[in-house]
Amino acid sequence: MRIGVTYDLKSDYLAQGMSEEEAAEFDSEVTIDAICAALAGMGFVPDRIGHVKRLAGRLVAGERWDAVFNFCEGLKGVAREAQVPALLDAYGIPYVFSDALTLALSLDKAMCKRVVRDAGVPTPDFAVVERLEDVARVKLAYPLFLKPVAEGSGKGVDGNSKVNDAAGLRAVAADLLERFAQPVLVETFLPGREFTVGITGTGPDAEVLGVTEIVPKAAYVGAGYGFENKLEGWEEKLDVVPAPPKEAAAAGAVALAAWRALNCRDGGRIDIRCDGAGAPHFIEVNPLAGLRPEHSDLCFIARYAGLSYDELIGRIMASFLKRHPELAAA
């Protein structure tokens, strides 16, 4: 089976003048090499396509694939992660991971939280600041936690994200509005432990792959698992360890409920944080979770679960093929 691979290379965007933070969500050659090697090891014939414009050009030129392993983060717009799936839907080409609706929804953290909350999944109370004047209408109790509404990889989360008063709220909101040119999500700050849940599968077949805990060290920046804490050298700032069984079960149950409510598919990761009483709450979902070997959280989770990198990709592909039995039989 010929399977296209779509992705955005960080090196391409750095070469265009982007900063490390601006290009944080994009992928390294190491990641794409590893994905393609794993797919080839399973008997697929991977074809590296690249970003959405390269995909569009090849589709218009008449090229087709049996399926696409879609790993594109996208570049422009709040629905940027949905661009490749929407294009593939238009051409009737099946793809790995979530569909356009889920990817667009999950990138907008506020809209995502509304859906999750409506499904009965606990998530911190929140407000959205679209303009600086909206700060006066935020009626949540302090402390609060602020971040851009539609960014990933911890972008915009730093030592200033937790605020304790109205002056701090206004200052940080103004900074984020200017830096990211998008609304700001304001959440009730949860002081408890932080977990990351890996999930594979789709719908009723989805299951928790494992749960890790983010354990801050003295050099940890701020009060959340943000951009600076994820840079190279992160080992000096935090430990990523298997969560204890009781906490893992509780965090996993919340994450799995959110995964199913959002119709996520095949594999990904959900961030969980606990309140002062230790109860887990949904923070956000990453339906296109990082897959860089020896670096990404989902890979750590797989390793702790006893899976090799190739076995992790194998589980993701098994879920995809279960959704497309016509390909599995080909």
Instruction: Measure CA of the first residue to CA of the last residue in the chain; give whole Å.
Output: 8
Residue ranges covered by each domain of the chain: 2-96, 125-188, 194-325
Residue type present at position 316: I
Average pLDDT, the chain: 94
Residue of 328 and 185 predicted with greater confidence: 185
In whole angstroms, give the CA distance from residue 118 to residue 132: 28
pLDDT of 1 > 80? The answer is: yes
| Architecture of the domain made up of 2-96 | 3-Layer(aba) Sandwich (3.40)
pLDDT of 183 > 80? The answer is: yes
What six digits make up the tokens of 329? Answer: 């039989």
CA within 13 Å, CB half, 211: 24
Residue 209, phi then psi, degrees to nearest 5: -75, -35
Residue 230 confidence (pLDDT): 74
Beta bridge partners of 127: 186
Q: Identify the CA nearest to 193 among candidates 232, 221, 224, 155.
A: 224
Average pLDDT over residues 224-233: 78
In whole angstroms, give the CA distance from residue 209 to residue 312: 9
pLDDT tens-digit map of 98-141: 999 999 999 999 999 999 999 999 999 999 999 999 999 999 99
In whole angstroms, give the CA distance from residue 4 to residue 266: 17
Query: Which ranges of 77-186 would DSSP assign to H, the alpha helix?
Result: 83-91, 100-107, 109-118, 166-180
Average pLDDT over residues 73-85: 92
CATH placement of domain 125-188 = 3.30.1490.20
Residue of 38 and 218 predicted with greater confidence: 38
pLDDT tens-digit map of 145-168: 999 999 886 888 999 999 999 999
Residue 329 confidence (pLDDT): 63
In whole angstroms, give the CA distance from residue 254 to residue 276: 17
Give the three-state DSSP class for 10. helix
Residue 272, phi then psi, degrees to nearest 5: -130, 140
Q: Given the structure tokens 């879920």, which residue do they identify?
A: 319
pLDDT bucket at 200, cuts 50 / 70 / 90: very high
Beta bridge partners of 184: 129, 148
Average pLDDT over residues 245-262: 98
Average pLDDT over residues 171-177: 97
pLDDT of 219 > 70? The answer is: yes
When computed from its CA atoms, the radius of gyration of the chain, rounded to whole angstroms, is: 19
pTM, entire model: 0.94
Residue 28 confidence (pLDDT): 86
Domain 194-325 has CATH 3.30.470.20: yes
Residue 156 confidence (pLDDT): 87
pLDDT of 306 > 80? The answer is: yes
Residue of 298 and 218 predicted with greater confidence: 298
Compute CA distances 326 → 1, 94, 174, 313, 322, whole Å: 12, 11, 52, 20, 9
Q: Identify the CA nearest to 274 among candidates 180, 190, 204, 206.
A: 190
Residue 145 confidence (pLDDT): 97
pLDDT tens-digit map of 45-68: 999 999 999 999 999 999 999 999
Residue 198 confidence (pLDDT): 98
Q: Identify the CA nearest to 145 among candidates 169, 166, 122, 129.
A: 169
CA within 13 Å, CB half, 218: 0
pLDDT bucket at 226, cuts 50 / 70 / 90: confident
